Amino acid sequence: MERVLSYIDAIREATDQEMQRDLSVVVFGLDVDDPKAIQGTTRGLMEKYGRERVFGTPLSEDAMTGAAVGMALAGLRPIHIHIRMDFLMLAMNQLVNVAAKSRYMYGGQVRIPIVVRSMIGKSWGQGAQHSQGLYSFFMHVPGLKVVAPATPYDAKGCLIHAIRDNDPVMYIEHRILHFQKGPVPESSYTMSPGKARVTVKGRDVTLVGISYMHSECLRACRYLESIGIQAEVIDPIWLSPLDIDTIAASVHKTGRLCIVDNGWTTCGASAEIAALVTERLQGVKDVRVRRMGFAPVTCPPTPLLEDLYYPNGRTIASAAHDLVTGTHNGWLPDERLDLQEIEFRGPF
């Protein structure tokens, strides 16, 4: 029987296995060693590997990111953890000007193998500064890799790869995904950069769901089934490098693309995917494209407005319906309670 783990435990196990295998792996960040242990993702590591390899830090995102770069220069493989992605704004100089550029601007003399884990929040009033999905900032910059795993299986495989990767990797988690459970092999395995996964096969429309929005795309897929539309769902997993081959091949088949981002659409991951698919397929296939993402406003904490702020399975299904039928008749499925706990369980 296959073993089931939560996303949180998958991250913890990946970290534990790599720390066991490689003495150069160190873990730090605000509260990594406190009783809550970053939602449990670092639980027990300090006790097992000691306070030198697992340590909480002062509230100094800028300097601690710079310190991660310095540790990497000295041969360590640091994992720096932030409980919200919003805090990375304090670390941009070190990430963009130093980590991303050192290999290039030093002519290949150095490498910066750091992993920066951060989390996107959602619901329960996370509000303006606990909810942002800002990974497109990092996709913009050459020299950074960006991954946003959506399942426990990928969470483990991508983290192990990220730790072993010799370049900086931005590892983006989503607070809601932390609670997902799914099959995770106990043995070590890696997920290579630049490989997306088709999670549902379909012929009518391609839904690309990033991070948590992959779960909403799975919901949309079920709503669309009920009216006879077969959606193909793709989880890009890695945002940089991006597996545009898999996405373009799907769109070549369906002719319709709806990209659902876990961030704003302007200059975002959805814009990049739409542009790349268009460049690839123009003159080859007539394609209709729709982008969805956060409403172009600051995230409100109050529940009614917050619901309107995010795409969800029903609004995605509605958009996909319009793409497929070429109509705008306002079709919106009634909410189905049986789709509340939807998770992708494989096969992988």
Partner 1 sequence: MNERVYRSLYRIRRVEEEIARIYPSDKIKSPVHLSIGQEAVSVGVCEALRPEDVVFGTYRSHAFYLAKGGDLKKMMAELYGKATGCAKGKGGSMHLVDTAHGVMGASAVVGTTIANAIGYAYALKLQRKDSLVVSFFGDGATDEGVFHESLNFAALKSLPVVFICENNFYAIHTSLMYRHKSTDICALARAHGITAERVEDGDVLAIHEHVTRAAKALRDGSSGPFFFECLTYRLMEHVGSNEDFHLGYRTRQEAEPWIRNDQVKRFASMIDGERRRRIEAEVEAEIQAAVAFAEESPFPEGEELFTDVVEG
Residue that is written with structure tokens 């549902």 in the block: 200
Residue 30 interacts with partner 1 (CB under 8 A): yes or no: no
Query: Could you tell me the smallest distance in angstroms from the CB atom of residue 172 to partner 1?
Result: 18
Q: Which of 67, 200, 271, 295 binds partner 1 (CB under 8 A)?
A: 67
Nearer Cβ to partner 1 (55/189): 55
Query: Could you tell me the smallest distance in angstroms from the CB atom of residue 167 to partner 1?
Result: 5
Element housing 14 (H / E): helix 7-21
Residue 94 interacts with partner 1 (CB under 8 A): yes or no: yes
- Of 211, 212, 276, nearest to 247 (Cα)? 276
Instruction: Read off the DSSP letter of residue 333.
Output: P
Instruction: Judge whether 61 counts as a catalytic residue.
Output: yes
Nearer Cβ to partner 1 (71/184): 71
Contact of 135 with 164, CB cutoff 8 Å: no
Q: Which stretch binds partner 1 (CB under 8 A): 13-21, 67-75, 298-306, 315-323?
A: 67-75
Q: Which of 52, 286, 334, 338 binds partner 1 (CB under 8 A)?
A: 52
Instruction: Judge whether 2 counts as a catalytic residue.
Output: no
Answer whether the bond into residue 142 is a cis peptide, omega within 30°. Answer: no
Query: Could you tell me the smallest distance in angstroms from the CB atom of residue 189 to partner 1?
Result: 20
CA distance 261 to 62: 27
CA distance 144 to 160: 17
Query: Could you tell me the smallest distance in angstroms from the CB atom of residue 191 to partner 1?
Result: 17
Query: Could you tell me the smallest distance in angstroms from the CB atom of residue 158 to partner 1?
Result: 16
Question: How many helices (H) and strands (E) would you count in the chain?
Answer: 12, 14
x/- contact string, 144-173, with partner 1 (CB under 8 A)?
A: -x-------------------xxx------
x/- contact string, 96-115, with partner 1 (CB under 8 A)?
A: -xx---xxxxxxxxxx----
**Which of these is catalytic: 18, 80, 82, 130?**
130
Alpha-helix runs per DSSP H in 243-333: 244-254, 269-281, 303-309, 313-325
Non-local (6+) Cβ contacts of 13 within 8 A are 5, 156, 184, 186
- Of 166, 219, 226, nearest to 193 (Cα)? 166
Catalytic positions: 61, 130
The footprint of partner 1 (CB under 8 A) covers: 26, 52-53, 57-58, 60, 62-76, 78, 93-94, 97-98, 102-111, 142-143, 145, 165-167
